[in-house]
């Protein structure tokens, strides 16, 4: 009897130890990294057919993970897409979600759910290192004091950011709300309305510029580059444009090494290949496409370095990497940098029509990859996926019950375990919206020019409805609206269930 009691006791202790260990294993949550490119087109990557650009690290990520043929940003411009990605809310629901100046107030509510806030609730460390462009403060920022609210008030434990874009002032890095390297004896003043007395501009002093402006970029000159907006002071804090990619990458590496013992979320929004394109000199000429191609090559190298760091720290197998772009491509976006001249037969828009700013597919149809070594089997998916769904999908991953109405939980699709993606999706470009449902895309009538002459991109505006079948007409050349009135009515009705009816002054609410 004594033997049996000892035996049973040993079994119980073993069972308790086993289940205790099992629980500990289950408690290990994966790291999540979102790598977000800026103006990278569907056709700018080798795995989508690019021949004149080499992107070996992007290609390796795609071939080692799940590459989506139908991956979408929510908008054809930067601020709205970034808003939707972090909040899981359509950007057209927030009227301020437009391309913002560097002095814009924060457009995400301090009590609004975000990916980092949700993950903090699940015990994650959270960081953003890179481009922000979602506003800071209350619209009356003193750049010489703590800049708040910002990313740190939205769930990020650590932030190292550009306030807006590389072509906009203030041209300084901001770490946890403080301008990096600021000399208090040389305070920063910023304005988007008028210049400061005695300060040179690209418009008045072209002889001081090393990069010539084409349109819109002719205000304050920093590092020989004319910017959007006016800035005075802060000389010691101004960034070095050619070192920007290295600056962010080094911060990313440091963050990973310091925080590898606990699960972390890292949002890594790169600035490439947005203008001004200023790759480090060691990347000059590595492509045949000029600074734009070289900037993409630089970003590809950064991605490779990120992956090497994860591997060296022993956490690659426990890290989900999501790679995408905020919108489609543009060649000349404000500077003479030969992107349009050197482009040749390269097609950054891939097989699609349009580009950045456009309601046609190339505006929002972007590279989209999920990679998790040992967890996601390599493959290619035709499922429709949207950055809008990342909040709810990542919540699924970590066992959070958080959801937002616009963000659909698509974890199984992102993991490659299902091909049942979205059935419908509203797409946006500069306050105009279109609608994809199944294989069809519908663009309502909108006033305005058909082509943005400055950037030479078709915008998708037309006085009539446009209806395209992407299976038969991926380049959107054949408008089927008149020939398929029933399909058009079906699309419009489904669109208006989501969008409402006040979306366009030129809309036609009654179809004959």
| pTM of the entire predicted model | 0.94
Query: What would you report as the CA-atom Rg of the chain, rounded to the nearest whole angstrom?
Result: 24
DSSP-assigned letters across all residues of 430-489: TTEEEEEETTEEEE----S-SEETTTTEE----SS-EEEETTT-TT-----TTT-HHHHH
Sign of CA dihedral 149, 278, 227, 72: negative
Q: How many residues does the chain have?
A: 512
CA proximity to 325, closest of 35, 70, 46, 37: 37
Helix or strand run (H / E) with residue 258:
helix 244-259
Per-residue pLDDT at 20? 47
Spatial CA neighbour of 443 closest among 435, 451, 454, 455? 435
Q: Which residues of the chain have a pLDDT value below 50?
A: 1-3, 6-7, 11, 15, 18-26, 507-512
Please choose, from the candidates 145, 153, 76, the residue with its C-alpha nearest in 3D space to the C-alpha of residue 108.
Answer: 153
H or E segment to which residue 414 belongs = helix 411-414
Going edge to edge, which strands form the sheet with 158-162?
A: 178-179, 173-175, 158-162, 125-131, 264-269, 31-37, 319-325, 368-371, 66-72, 379-386
Q: What is the dihedral of CA 216, 221, 227, 233, to 10 degrees?
A: -130
pLDDT number for residue 23? 43
pLDDT at 512: 32
Q: Which of 252, 263, 224, 223 is nearest to 239 (CA)?
A: 223
- Which residues have C-beta within 8 Å of that of residue 281, sequence separation ≥ 6? 242
pLDDT of residue 28: 82
Backbone angles phi, psi at 127, to 5 degrees: -150, 150
Could you give all domains of the chain from N- to C-terminal order, each with its CATH number? 29-177+255-417 (3.40.720.10), 425-499 (3.30.1120.10)
Read out DSSP for 285-318? Answer: TSSSSTHHHHHHHHHHHHHHHHHHHHHHTT-GGG
């Amino acid at each position: 009897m004594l033997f049996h009691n000892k035996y049973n006791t040993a079994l119980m202790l073993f069972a308790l130890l086993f289940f205790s260990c099992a629980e500990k294993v289950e408690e290990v949550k994966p790291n999540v990294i979102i790598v977000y490119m800026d103006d990278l087109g569907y056709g700018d990557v080798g795995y989508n057919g690019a021949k004149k650009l080499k992107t070996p690290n992007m290609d390796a990520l795609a071939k080692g993970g799940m590459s989506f043929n139908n991956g979408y940003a929510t908008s054809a411009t930067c601020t709205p897409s970034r808003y939707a990605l972090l909040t899981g809310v359509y950007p057209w629901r927030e009227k301020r979600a437009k391309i913002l100046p560097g002095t814009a107030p924060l457009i995400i509510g301090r009590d609004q759910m975000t990916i980092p806030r949700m993950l903090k609730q699940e015990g994650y460390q959270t960081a953003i290192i890179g481009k922000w462009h979602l506003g800071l403060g209350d619209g009356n920022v003193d750049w010489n004091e703590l800049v708040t609210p910002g990313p740190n008030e939205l769930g990020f434990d650590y932030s190292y950011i550009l306030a807006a874009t590389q072509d906009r002032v203030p041209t300084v890095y901001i770490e946890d709300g403080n301008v990096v390297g600021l000399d208090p004896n040389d305070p920063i003043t910023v304005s988007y309305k008028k210049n400061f007395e005695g300060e040179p501009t690209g418009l008045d002093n072209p002889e001081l510029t090393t990069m010539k402006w084409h349109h819109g970029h002719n205000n304050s000159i920093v590092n020989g580059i004319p910017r959007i907006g006016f800035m005075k002071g802060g000389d010691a804090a101004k960034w070095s444009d050619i070192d920007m990619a290295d600056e962010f990458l080094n911060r990313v590496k440091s963050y990973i090494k310091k925080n590898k013992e606990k699960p972390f979320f890292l949002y890594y929004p790169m600035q490439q290949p947005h203008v001004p394109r200023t790759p480090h000199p060691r990347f000059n000429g590595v492509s045949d496409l000029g600074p734009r191609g070289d900037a993409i090559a630089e970003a590809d190298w950064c991605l490779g370095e990120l992956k090497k760091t994860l591997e060296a720290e022993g956490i690659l197998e426990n890290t989900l990497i999501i790679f995408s772009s905020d919108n489609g491509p543009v060649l000349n976006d404000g500077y003479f940098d030969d992107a349009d001249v050197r482009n040749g037969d390269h097609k950054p828009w891939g097989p699609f029509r349009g580009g950045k700013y456009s309601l046609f597919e190339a505006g929002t149809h972007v590279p989209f990859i999920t990679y998790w070594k040992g967890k996601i089997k390599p493959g290619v998916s035709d499922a429709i996926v949207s950055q809008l769904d990342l909040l709810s999908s990542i919540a699924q991953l970590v066992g959070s019950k958080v959801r937002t109405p616009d963000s659909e939980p698509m974890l199984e699709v992102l993991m490659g375990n299902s091909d049942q993606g979205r059935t419908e999706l509203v797409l946006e470009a500069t306050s105009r919206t279109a609608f994809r449902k199944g294989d069809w895309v519908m663009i309502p009538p909108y006033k305005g020019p058909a082509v943005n002459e400055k950037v030479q991109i078709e915008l998708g505006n037309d006085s009539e409805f446009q209806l395209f079948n992407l299976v038969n007409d991926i380049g959107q050349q054949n408008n089927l609206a008149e020939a398929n009135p029933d399909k058009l009515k079906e699309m419009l009705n489904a669109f208006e269930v989501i969008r409402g009816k006040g979306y366009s002054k030129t809309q036609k609410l009654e179809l004959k």
